[in-house]
């Protein structure tokens, strides 16, 4: 595949994190289709990329999807997450994976990259993930997966997500990833923000009491409150979450993150337009992908697509794939 030609589709596109990542590493790329059911996502995507995503993916026939080289999808994760009660395929959001499968079957792109919460791997004692991999491999795709943490790729956010990549033809794929130094919070957080972002005096006092016996490092910290009510002051952010309470993360135990700060924690550029309200941005930022993680994965995928595979390697890959089918 020539470097100057890359057509992709952006499913469950949200704020467009996958698209930002593609355009960062491949200038001559073209998004030929995008979709997202959420109206705030559609507004944000259209404002930043000049096109309104299609709405409900279940309402479009797979044949109508344009031809593309790579399918990208951060498919809905709430059905598999701890905070989303982990219902998996019993939740309608979980069944949206099969819309990805029907598009793969019909359009046969050269590769795909999927992203989801790391709990997907262990959900239902691993049976859910096994079913997903089985489905992808039955479609004839050579698959690989890995859990990545945004902290390891430069962002000051502990965000662990599983990435699943697949290839239509046998490829020499390698997770060629290099750990990057973490960007300091001082480069992400604003020195001054509106008083509207500050928690109430009562909440701030409660936060201070909860960390009285804890050692807090000098400098900026983000205080994380877990489901049990335990407070941890950290020199980075815990994962942004779409359904978290307003005071789930507080800078120095005092104020909430601004919309722009949330985008920075996910790796979005400064010129990304914010066109929806605070509550909507919290939801969208919590659901989006960490851009440096996507870039790292895409670089590995594109290298594999652009590198010819030897005849001997091809025989080995096919033999391995056939053995996997025999186990299903």
Decide if 141 contacts 165 (C-beta within 8 A): no
Is 221 found in the same domain as 293? no
Rounded CA separation 305/1 (Å): 7
Q: State the CATH number of the domain containing residue 160.
A: 3.40.50.150
Per-residue pLDDT of 204-222, as tens digits, reads 999 999 888 777 777 899 9
Residue at a domain's end among 257, 277, 307: 257
How would residue 3 be classed by pLDDT, with cut points 50, 70 and 90?
low
Which string of DSSP letters, residue by residue, matches 117-136?
A: ETHHHHGGGGHHHHHHHHHH
% of the chain beyond a pLDDT of 90 = 75
Q: Are residues 93 and 174 in the same domain?
A: yes
162-209 confidence digits (pLDDT tens): 999 999 999 999 999 999 999 999 999 999 999 999 999 999 999 999
- Is 278 contained in some domain? no
Domain boundary among 257, 278, 299: 257
Q: How many independent structural domains does the chain possess? A: 2
Domain hosting residue 252, numbered range: 191-257
**What tens digit of pLDDT does each residue of 261-279 get?**
999 999 999 999 999 999 9
pLDDT in tens, 144-160: 999 999 999 999 999 99
Does residue 154 share a domain with residue 89?
A: yes
- Which of 59, 192, 79, 206 lies closest to 132, judged by CA? 79
Which positions are annotated as active-site residues? 77
Q: Supply the pLDDT for residue 212.
A: 83
Report yes or no: 136 and 97 within 8 Å, Cβ to Cβ.
no
Q: What is the pTM of this model?
A: 0.88
The H or E element that residue 300 is part of is: helix 291-306
Inside any domain, residue 269: no
The answer to whether residue 272 sits within a structural domain is: no
* 120 in the same domain as 25: yes
- 119 & 234 share domain: no
The answer for residues whose C-beta is within 8 angstroms of residue 149's C-beta and 6 or more apart is 158, 159, 160
Return the residue matching tokens 């020499």: 172
Any idea which residue has 């300091």 for tokens?
Answer: 184
């Amino acid at each position: 595949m020539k470097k100057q030609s890359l057509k992709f589709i952006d499913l469950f596109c949200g704020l467009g994190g996958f698209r930002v990542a593609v355009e960062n590493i491949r200038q001559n790329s073209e998004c030929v289709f995008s979709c997202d059911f959420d109206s705030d996502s559609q507004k944000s995507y259209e404002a930043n990329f000049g096109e309104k995503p299609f709405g409900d993916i279940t309402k479009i026939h797979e044949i109508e999807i344009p031809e593309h080289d790579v399918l990208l999808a951060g498919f809905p994760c709430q059905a598999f997450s701890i905070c989303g009660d982990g219902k998996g395929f019993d939740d309608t959001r979980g069944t949206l994976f099969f819309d990805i499968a029907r598009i793969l079957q019909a359009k046969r792109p050269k590769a795909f990259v999927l992203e989801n919460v790391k709990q997907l791997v262990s959900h239902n004692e691993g049976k859910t993930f096994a079913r997903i991999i089985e489905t992808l491999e039955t479609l004839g795709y050579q698959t690989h997966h890995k859990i990545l943490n945004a902290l390891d790729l430069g962002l000051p956010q502990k965000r662990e997500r599983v990435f699943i990549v697949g290839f239509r033809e046998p490829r020499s794929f390698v997770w060629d990833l290099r750990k990057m130094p973490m960007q300091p919070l001082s480069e992400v957080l604003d020195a001054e923000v509106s008083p509207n972002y500050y928690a109430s005096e009562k909440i701030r006092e409660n936060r201070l009491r909860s960390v009285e016996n804890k050692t807090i490092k000098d400098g900026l910290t983000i205080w994380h409150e877990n489901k049990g009510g335990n407070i941890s002051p950290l020199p980075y952010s815990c994962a942004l979450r779409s359904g978290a309470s307003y005071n789930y993360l507080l800078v120095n135990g005092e104020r909430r993150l601004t919309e722009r700060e949330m985008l920075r924690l996910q790796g979005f550029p400064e010129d990304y337009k914010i066109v929806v309200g605070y509550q909507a941005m919290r939801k969208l930022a919590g659901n989006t992908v960490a851009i440096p993680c996507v870039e790292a994965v895409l670089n590995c995928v594109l290298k594999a697509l652009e590198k010819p595979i030897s005849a001997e390697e091809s025989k080995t890959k096919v033999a391995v794939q056939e053995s996997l089918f025999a186990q299903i």
